[in-house]
Chains A and B, each alone.
Chain A
Amino acid sequence: MAQTLLFLTELLGLKVYDLKGRRIGVVRDAAVVPLVNPSRVDRFLVGGGYAWLSLRFDQVQKINLDGIFLKEEVLIPYHSDEYMLRMVRDLLDQQIIDGEGRKVVRVTDVTFEVRNENGFDVLTLLEVDIGLRSMFRRLFQGVLPRRWIRRLQGPIPPHSIRWEACSILEADPQRRLRLNVTNKLLEEMHPADIADIVEDLSPDDREVIFETMDSETAAEALSEVDLDIQARILESLEADKAAEIIEEMSPDEAADVLAELDEESSQEILEEMDVEAESEVSELMEFDEDSAGGLMNTEYVALHQDATVSDAMIALKAHAELLESLNTMFLVDREDRLIAAVPLARLFIARGETPLIELRSDTLIQAKVDVKQKKLTELFDKYNLLTLPVVDKHGKLAGVITADNIITVLRGG
């Protein structure tokens, strides 16, 4: 099996022979045309005399370490083709996204498989190599004979990524289409992983990824990114796309990042947002960043103090999108003043007609909007809280702070 593999470092400089066994040049580059076939090497670019030649894969008879042998006489000069992904120019030494390791890596070499199809050899892009072994090949490419390098590299552990798990980076939107570059791989990842990858990229790559990603995923990923990078990304996007993403973010996070932007950009984005989301975010932006008001979000469920367990169930069904992280409900009076907190778990063992007020926590811990971060973390620690309700100066429920907000604060985020 081993001999059916061919590395890009070996392919480059390989001599090309025509039907009569005459040498017509050496391989300078190879290209895949992703729109036709994502992994088959479609063209070999051969440097011979004055101009490069472009060989189609179906002109090739045989490929091995001794050379490429053609089965046809027709030679076409190479002229640059926008649809080609050229291995040396576009892949080698460039950054790509490794979908398996979920990080950004730099390509050192490429592994092809020589496959025999109907009696003719075809090269298929198998893996992208990133480890020390491929580095060894690169350093000695052209210095030592190919077969020596193969033997000598044996003891070095290989490190490669399947080509299907790779996604190349391309900042030019037109070329993205031509090379069939998508965010599919990224969109399947956990938002936190997307965020880590995005932080490692150059601003242009970040921009194009967020520009083309669906807004919901973009929002989830963006809120995991460092705040100052979030701001830079939003600033680079068109205002309407930025607004779409902001609308999908939780209001407190949206307010935080908008506060990071300069006045003009944040105003532009706010204008593009729909009225309801805009007013919610604007309200939060009024608060000092490190006070309860700045930390809180408005993702809570509050019911009137006379409500029963069945009322609660109906309310929960109506707020299905909050359920993943919800652990407490709140009871308020006619003026929206906070009366009690009800741990969600107690609902399960109560009968439907039980008034919620009977299920409340013994003590109601709450914070005013202007309470500082330090005090808030003390409250969470002292009372082992998961969710802390925040009230304005009239005692009206304004929002909630959850334990994960506090963890972010503690980590210095």
Chain B
Amino acid sequence: MMNLWRRVRYHWTVFFAVIGPGFITAVVDNDAGGIYTYSQAGAKYGYLPLWTLLPITVLLIVTQEMCSHMGAVTGKGLSDLIREEFGLRNTFLMMLLLILANLTNIMANFAGIASSLQIFGMSPYITVPISAAAVWLLIVKGTYDRVEKIFLWACVVYVAYIISGILVKPDWKQAAIYSVTPRLMLETGYITMLIGMVGTSIAPWMQFYLQAAVVEKGVTAKEYKESRVEVIVGCIMMSVIAFFIIVACAGAIYRVAPRDIKDAADAALGLAPFGKYAMLMFAAGLFNASLFAACVQPLSTAYTVCEGLGFESGVNKSFREAPIFYWLFTLLIVVSAAVILLPNFPLVKMILLSQVINGALLPFVLIFMTLLVNKKRVMKEWTNSRFYNVVAWASVALMIGLTLALVGISIKDMLA
């Protein structure tokens, strides 16, 4: 009995020692773009799309698990490993696409900051520059430990979505039924939306960020079991939040009149008839998610690119020592924040473009990952098992198929 208790306590301690990377990655996955997609799904199709969350969670777990696994075993970042095993040219092209994809992601998040705070009556011309400055300072002045603590607290704010979902008083019975009953409709809009939901749930930057964070945290192959649990819990949490976003929009907007929404803030406004607090909670959640992602993405991009290409990186280095690193994340923040303030900036086109670039990059990232995790030279005795490989390749193939479909749809919309 004593022994069992001790074992439980040991696993708890290790679990809390490794907590962070998986949680943060999965939760930041619900950034402004993600929230928009889920809100749109709920607003237009009600509870119908809920069943996709289950397979999405599984796909997410499979891909995230590979990255944290590699991080724990090799102690190296994903871009380092790609560089070492697949050469400079592959890495270079990949990094170029990653910068572009993340630039558009960050734009979407600054747009999320602007529109959510507008609901609170604040002008974007004040909120966006202040947020950009705050993000920059946090990156430059924060140590990893401290920043991670702030991030973990930010994860808690996602509870806002759960509260707003409850406040709307949706039809829980229907929500429960549709969560487990797959519904397919041969309607272009519906299928596009399903693909969009899967496509936004797994973004290239997450793989790089997660692996780097696992390495930074110093998770070893020995502690890997707990780290895996953490990744899985994180992915489930992400889906729970997505569930409540969909349910909130289904209960508020779809029930009244199914419609397309303009952006995530539009969804928040749609909640207004069900109480001021439901709306404010939704907006606060959006602000938190956007700001959080706007912090994580520039920094993660700069680290990934500099490490892959062999430039000095790290906030503990001076500007003179690591100029490319500093320029990169500064420009990502400044450019994204600045374009949001431009009048008539084609933001919707930009977000579609972001989906195209992310979608074009993701197949390569996933293929390289699965190849790497099977390389003896990289993973030694910790390569994937045969069963896991089948699951991994199947997930990768499915993801690639869906992503390419999404790319096609986005290109069509852009040209329209």
Task: Tell me whether B143 and A93 are in contact (CB under 8 A).
Answer: no
Determine the distance from Cα of A1 to Cα of B310 in the docked complex, in whole angstroms. 29
A116 at the interface (CB under 8 A from B): no
Task: Tell me whether A139 and B83 are in contact (CB under 8 A).
Answer: no
Task: Tell me whether A412 and B75 are in contact (CB under 8 A).
Answer: no
Of all chain A residues, which has the CB nearest B324? A132
Interfacial chain A residues near B87, Cβ < 8 Å = 92-93, 138
Cross-chain contact of A93 among B75, B76, B84, B312 (Cβ < 8 A): B84
Task: Tell me whether A412 and B143 are in contact (CB under 8 A).
Answer: yes
Task: Tell me whether B218 and A108 are in contact (CB under 8 A).
Answer: no
Determine the distance from Cα of A106 to Cα of B76 in the docked complex, in whole angstroms. 13
Determine the distance from Cα of A135 to Cα of B91 in the docked complex, in whole angstroms. 11
- A93-B87, A94-B84, A202-B76 known; A135+B309 contact, CB < 8 A: yes
A241 at the interface (CB under 8 A from B): no
Q: Of residues 96 to 112 in A, which have CB atoms within 8 Å of B's CB atoms?
A: 103, 105-106, 108
Interfacial chain A residues near B89, Cβ < 8 Å = 138-139, 141
The contact string, 1 if C-beta is below 8 Å from chain B, for chain A 37-66, is: 000000000000000000000000000000
Interfacial chain A residues near B88, Cβ < 8 Å = 93, 108, 135, 138-139
Interfacial chain B residues near A228, Cβ < 8 Å = 218
Least distance between A396 CB and chain B CB atoms (Å): 36
A130 at the interface (CB under 8 A from B): yes
Of all chain A residues, which has the CB nearest B380? A204
B92 at the interface (CB under 8 A from A): yes
We find that the number of chain B residues with CB closer than 8 angstroms to chain A is 16
A365 at the interface (CB under 8 A from B): no
B74 at the interface (CB under 8 A from A): yes
We find that the number of chain A residues with CB closer than 8 angstroms to chain B is 20
Task: Tell me whether A139 and B92 are in contact (CB under 8 A).
Answer: yes
Centre residue among A103, A105, A135 by max chain B CB count within 10 A: A135
Determine the distance from Cα of A105 to Cα of B309 in the docked complex, in whole angstroms. 10
The contact string, 1 if C-beta is below 8 Å from chain A, for chain B 51-95, is: 000000000000000000000001110001001100111001000
Interfacial chain A residues near B92, Cβ < 8 Å = 135, 139
A259 at the interface (CB under 8 A from B): no
Least distance between B15 CB and chain A CB atoms (Å): 14
B220 at the interface (CB under 8 A from A): yes
Determine the distance from Cα of A202 to Cα of B77 in the docked complex, in whole angstroms. 10
A229 at the interface (CB under 8 A from B): yes
Determine the distance from Cα of A139 to Cα of B351 in the docked complex, in whole angstroms. 30
Task: Tell me whether A232 and B220 are in contact (CB under 8 A).
Answer: yes
- A93-B84, A139-B88 known; A106+B218 contact, CB < 8 A: no
- A93-B87, A138-B88, A139-B88 known; A105+B75 contact, CB < 8 A: no
Interfacial chain B residues near A135, Cβ < 8 Å = 88, 92, 309
Q: Of residues 199 to 238 in B, which have CB atoms within 8 Å of A's CB atoms?
A: 218, 220
Task: Tell me whether B310 and A232 are in contact (CB under 8 A).
Answer: no
A203 at the interface (CB under 8 A from B): yes
Interfacial chain A residues near B312, Cβ < 8 Å = 103
Determine the distance from Cα of A170 to Cα of B409 in the docked complex, in whole angstroms. 48
Determine the distance from Cα of A106 to Cα of B307 in the docked complex, in whole angstroms. 9
Least distance between A113 CB and chain B CB atoms (Å): 23
Task: Tell me whether A93 and B83 are in contact (CB under 8 A).
Answer: yes
Determine the distance from Cα of A337 to Cα of B88 in the docked complex, in whole angstroms. 66
Determine the distance from Cα of A135 to Cα of B74 in the docked complex, in whole angstroms. 25
Interfacial chain B residues near A412, Cβ < 8 Å = 143
Task: Tell me whether A232 and B309 are in contact (CB under 8 A).
Answer: no
Of all chain A residues, which has the CB nearest B218? A232
Q: Of residues 246 to 305 in B, which have CB atoms within 8 Å of A's CB atoms?
A: none
Interfacial chain B residues near A204, Cβ < 8 Å = 74-75
The contact string, 1 if C-beta is below 8 Å from chain B, for chain A 126-146, is: 000010000100110100000
Of all chain A residues, which has the CB nearest B83? A93
Interfacial chain B residues near A105, Cβ < 8 Å = 310
Least distance between B380 CB and chain A CB atoms (Å): 9
Least distance between A133 CB and chain B CB atoms (Å): 13
Determine the distance from Cα of A137 to Cα of B312 in the docked complex, in whole angstroms. 20
Task: Tell me whether A106 and B310 are in contact (CB under 8 A).
Answer: yes
Interfacial chain B residues near A93, Cβ < 8 Å = 83-84, 87-88
- A139-B89, A202-B75 known; A229+B84 contact, CB < 8 A: no
* Sample of 5 further A-B pairs with CB below 8 A, known A93-B88, A95-B80, A106-B83: A92-B87, A135-B88, A135-B309, A202-B76, A203-B75
Query: What are 19 of the A-B contact pairs (CB < 8 Å)?
Result: A92-B87, A93-B84, A93-B87, A93-B88, A103-B312, A106-B83, A108-B88, A108-B310, A135-B92, A135-B309, A139-B92, A141-B89, A202-B74, A202-B76, A203-B75, A204-B74, A229-B218, A232-B218, A412-B143
Kindly list the 8 A-B residue pairs having the minimum CB-CB distance in the complex, ordered from nearest: A106-B310, A202-B75, A203-B75, A138-B88, A202-B76, A93-B83, A93-B84, A232-B218
